[in-house]
Amino acid sequence: MFYQNAILRYAFFLLAFYSSVNAVGQKNSSPNILFIVVDDLGWSDLGCYGADLHETPNIDRLARQSFIFTNSYAAAPVCSPTRASILTGKYPARLNFTIWSEAAGHERRANPTTRSITPQTIENLPLNEITLAEELQKKGYHTAHIGKWHVGDLMHFPELQGFDLSVAASQRGAPPTYFYPYKGFAFGEDRFVGNLGQDDHGHYFSDRDGEYLTDRLTSEAVKMIEDAGNKPLFLNLWYYNVHTPIEAKEADIKLFSAKKSPDLNHQNETYAAMVKAVDDNIGRILDKLEQLDKLNNTIIFLLSDNGGFVNNYRDNQVTNNAPLRSGKGSLYEGGIRIPTIAHIPQLKAEGKIVEQPISTIDFFPTILEILDINDSSPIDGKSFFSLLKNDESSPGDRALYWHYPHYYPTTTPVSAIRVGDWKLLEYLEDGKIELYNLKEDLSETTNLVDTHPLKKQELLDQLHQWKQNVNAQTISPNPDFKE
Ligand SMILES: [Ca+2]
């Protein structure tokens, strides 16, 4: 009798155990989604994208289990608009969110140094836009945002855009410093980072001197992963690295100082150390997911929000996107082509290279398709899930568009279109058109506008039609401009 009971109890235990695995286990539950944005990370900045000075063993480890996109684009060449495109699946021009928040409304003031007055744009993502977080919240996800926000002020913060929880958000585009307590004067004003500096009683943490922001954000992320238990988690981890200010840990800077040599593409040891800080922390997250046996049930996207910053910080060029031309702010490839890694466990990619062009407007519909969420709201993005699942290899004739009617040290106001291997740029002040074949000329050195007039006209017409469709705002002549 005793044995019979014991066997029955054991059988019941097994049944309960397997039922619970089935209920919360690897295959049948909604996957966790970890959406990592590394601010300003350039196309050539990672080991798996050919970086030489920089070292990214952990991201490379993730890449070996993921899809690696070689033609992935930010929808804008600067921060806020791309972030808005990720959250909504819409083009920045359609949202009229084409420049970063701080510059909206300020840049267009009559300025005798600029030939044009740039359009008034929005600086906050409107609350009535449906965000990815809102979709996932409805699906039963615990939704959390950690890090740089930059798509709205306090009245447009993550908590009001579908996130249950938000840590270290800031409406600003960069922290004043990467070292605790993350506050001070920088970029012409007093700044601080979200709620990280002090405890709930307003006291500074006594054990955080010397702490680096990216380490802190990751500790918060790891805690959230642990706390989520078996509830599906959408973690929007938007690191402040590797945006200016260019600051890193001394020991890491020394490491890359020693490695630096004139024949390398990258020459900034502090920036290399900032990339390392991201990589070390991606390693911590991967280790935690492995330890909790969650990596096989976690979709991970890792990308940038615009091309690498090629201008100087304290007299040193920050990064170099070679072989791509130019950098952040520009609509040449260096300003918009970004590293993108997609870990989708069910597809077992194992480092597969994906050459089809995608844009940051595509993540919203892709994630919805993976999770079987039907939403017929109009957006611009297109899911790339089927493309990955069916192993499609044709470049297709889908057009991608950009519209940046603003200035940056790398550019004057400009729009662009890419279809297949062809790309056209239209400079808005003088109407100059440039046409490149990216397959033959990745570095955009040879303008084919005179030898391919029909292709030029076709793309230009298509670009103009699109601008009309999205009601793209444009520049006007500046009466105060002095040559
Ligand atoms: Ca950025």
Quick check: is 261 in a domain?
yes
- What Rg do the C-alpha atoms of the chain give, in angstroms? 23
Indicate the range of 39-43, 111-115, 294-298, 409-413 predicted with least confidence: 111-115
Distances (CA, A) of 159 to 33, 230, 302, 477: 18, 22, 23, 40
Quick check: is 384 in a domain?
yes
Asked if residue 414 lies in contact with residue 426, where contact means CB atoms within 8 angstroms, the answer is yes
**478 Cα–ligand 1 center, Å:** 28
**26 Cα–ligand 1 center, Å:** 34
- Give the structural domain span for 249: 30-396
**77 Cα–ligand 1 center, Å:** 8
Specify the pLDDT at position 106.
62
Sequence-distant (6+) residues with CB within 8 A of 245 are 174, 175, 176, 177, 178, 186, 313
3-state secondary structure of 278: helix
**230 Cα–ligand 1 center, Å:** 33
Distances (CA, A) of 85 to 189, 284, 304, 375: 28, 28, 13, 17
Quick check: is 343 in a domain?
yes
Cα gap 289→209, rounded to integer Å: 28
Cα gap 237→302, rounded to integer Å: 9
pLDDT tier at 350, thresholds 50, 70, 90 = very high
Specify the pLDDT at position 199.
83
Quick check: is 3 in a domain?
no
**210 Cα–ligand 1 center, Å:** 25
**426 Cα–ligand 1 center, Å:** 23
**425 Cα–ligand 1 center, Å:** 21
Number of domains observed in the structure of the chain: 1
**71 Cα–ligand 1 center, Å:** 18
**404 Cα–ligand 1 center, Å:** 14
pLDDT digits (tens, 9 = 90+) for 302-348: 999 999 999 999 999 999 999 999 999 999 999 999 999 999 999 99
Quick check: is 74 in a domain?
yes
**239 Cα–ligand 1 center, Å:** 10
Q: For ligand 1, a single-atom ion, which residues have Cβ within 5 Å?
A: 39-40, 79, 305-306
pLDDT digits (tens, 9 = 90+) for 397-415: 899 999 999 999 999 999 9
Quick check: is 377 in a domain?
yes
Query: Residue 61 is part of a domain; what is its CATH number?
Result: 3.40.720.10
**262 Cα–ligand 1 center, Å:** 27
Distances (CA, A) of 67 to 53, 301, 335: 24, 10, 22
Q: What's this model's pTM, rounded to 2 decimal places? A: 0.93
**243 Cα–ligand 1 center, Å:** 7
**231 Cα–ligand 1 center, Å:** 31
3-state secondary structure of 204: strand
**298 Cα–ligand 1 center, Å:** 25
pLDDT digits (tens, 9 = 90+) for 206-243: 889 999 999 999 999 999 999 998 899 999 999 999 99
Specify the residue for token string 């380490």: 215
**410 Cα–ligand 1 center, Å:** 14
339: cis peptide before it, omega within 30°? no
Quick check: is 460 in a domain?
no
CA torsion 138→142→143→147, rounded to 10°? 180
Angle, CA of 216, 220 and 224, to the nearest 5°: 165
**100 Cα–ligand 1 center, Å:** 9
**102 Cα–ligand 1 center, Å:** 13
Asked if residue 80 lies in contact with residue 173, where contact means CB atoms within 8 angstroms, the answer is yes
- DSSP result, 363-375: HHHHHHHHTT---
**305 Cα–ligand 1 center, Å:** 5
**288 Cα–ligand 1 center, Å:** 27
**61 Cα–ligand 1 center, Å:** 24
3-state secondary structure of 288: helix
Distances (CA, A) of 66 to 90, 193, 349: 25, 32, 5
Per-residue tokens: 351:
């480092």
pLDDT digits (tens, 9 = 90+) for 421-475: 999 999 999 999 999 999 999 999 999 999 999 999 999 999 999 999 999 999 9
Quick check: is 243 in a domain?
yes
Cα gap 256→239, rounded to integer Å: 22
pLDDT > 90 fraction of the chain, expressed in percent and rounded: 82
Cα gap 293→27, rounded to integer Å: 12
Which one-letter DSSP state was computed for residue 151?
S
Cα gap 44→307, rounded to integer Å: 9
**42 Cα–ligand 1 center, Å:** 10
